[in-house]
Structure 1
Amino acid sequence: MSDPAGETMAAFWVRARCHDPALPSCPPPAWSFGAGPDEADALLALVLQDRKTATASALADYENAGERPPRPGELSVVLDGDGMPRAVIEVTAVDVVPFSEVSAEHAWAEGEGDRSLGHWRDEHRAFWTEHGATGFAPEMPVVCERFRLRFSG
C-alpha cells in the first residue's frame, strides 16, 4: 500500500528541485511553525508573503528533544496546518541570546503582529509558558534564527 504523505512530500520535492536544481536529492527535515494547525497556517502565510524571515525557539526545547539548534545553510520543509509541505527555507544566521536580549530587529523579521519588540515578547512569553519544555524564564536562552525562502509550492 502506498503512503499518501510520502507521495505528497516526494511530489513537492520534485517540484522544488525543478525550481531550484541546487537543492539536494533528498528532502530535508519537515516541520511546522507554532503549536497547532491554525498557528502553523498563519505563520506559514507570513513566510509565503516574505514578511516572516526569522523565528525563535527555546534552546531548552532542542536540548530536551536531544536535538541541536539549526545551523546556517541547513534546509527545512515547512508544513501547513494539515501537515502538507508548502515551502523550503534555508537558515542564513543563528544567534543564541537571553530572552531579554532579543533585538527589535529580530522581532521585526519574525513578521508577527505589529512587528514590535513588545508584541514579540508578549507572544513568546505566553507561548513558552504554555508550550515550552521548561516553561518561561526572563533570561532563558533563545535560538534566534534567520532564514530565506528557497521555494514555495
Structure 2
Amino acid sequence: MDDIEAFWQRAQQHADLAQVSSYTGVNPLAVLRPPAWGFGATPEQADELLGLVLAGDKTATASALWDYESEGEEVPSEGTLGIVVDGSGTPRALVVTTRVRVVPFDEVDAAHARAEGEGDLTLEYWRRVHEDFFTRHASHDRGFVRDMPVVLEELRVLHAE
C-alpha cells in the first residue's frame, strides 16, 4: 500500500465524512480516494502553503481557470475532497472545498486575499504574488492578463497529520 492510500484509510477513520454533503445514496466520499495534490509549483511553495493550511491561516486558494482547461481537469466544486501533499509528496491533510467562485483576476476581493493567509494579507500583496505566479507557472499558453478567469476555492481541513 502506498503512502497516499494509507493516509486515505486513516483519514476516512478520523474525518467526519458524514458532515460532507452527498446528493443520493451511499456517500461516495467514503469509498473513492480523492486526488492528491500540492500547493504551488515548487516543493518549497508546497511546504510553505501547506504549513499555512495546517496552522489554520490559509482557508482559501486560487488557480487560473485556463490551467484547468489546458490540463483537461474539472474545476473543483463544493464538496470536492483532496489529499494535500507536502513538497516531498507525503500526504498531510484531507481537505474539502466549501465554496467555489470564478471571477476575473482584477475582481478578486480583499476578503479572499486575507483567506489565502499569505504575506501581509492585503489585496495588493495577493495581486502582486499571484500575477507573478500565474505569469511564471502557467500550464496554458495565453499568458497573464488582468481580467483572466481565476478559480477561487475555499477549503476546510477534515483531517491532518
Q: TM-score range, shorter-chain basis?
A: over 0.9
Question: What is the aligned residue count?
Answer: 148
1:135-150 to 2 correspondence within 5 Å? 135-150=143-158
What is aligned with 1:53? 59
What is aligned with 1:17? 12
Please give the alpha-carbon distance, in whole angstroms, between the structure 1 residues aligned to 2:16 and 2:92. 17
Query: Over aligned residue pairs, what C-alpha RMSD do you find?
Result: 1.1
The alignment-based identity, stated in percent, is: 52
Output the TM-score relative to the length of structure 2.
0.88
CA-to-aligned-CA distance 1:59-103 (integer Å, 9 cap, x gap): 000000111210000100001000111001100000000001000
SS at match of 2:121: coil
Q: Which amino acid aligns with 2:9?
A: V
SS at match of 1:77: strand
What are structure 2's unaligned runs of at least 5 residues? 18-28
Q: Which amino acid aligns with 1:10?
A: E
What is aligned with 2:22? none
Please give the alpha-carbon distance, in whole angstroms, between the structure 2 residues aligned to 1:130 and 1:9. 29
Please give the alpha-carbon distance, in whole angstroms, between the structure 2 residues aligned to 1:145 and 1:81. 21
Output the TM-score relative to the length of structure 1.
0.93
CA-to-aligned-CA distance 1:82-128 (integer Å, 9 cap, x gap): 01110011000000000010000000000000111000000000001
What is aligned with 1:113? 119
Specify whether residues 21 and 120 from structure 1 end up closer, same or farther in structure 2 by C-alpha distance, changes over 3 A only.
closer
SS at match of 1:97: strand
Comparing 10-19 with 113-122, which one deviates more in the overlay?
10-19
SS at match of 2:57: coil
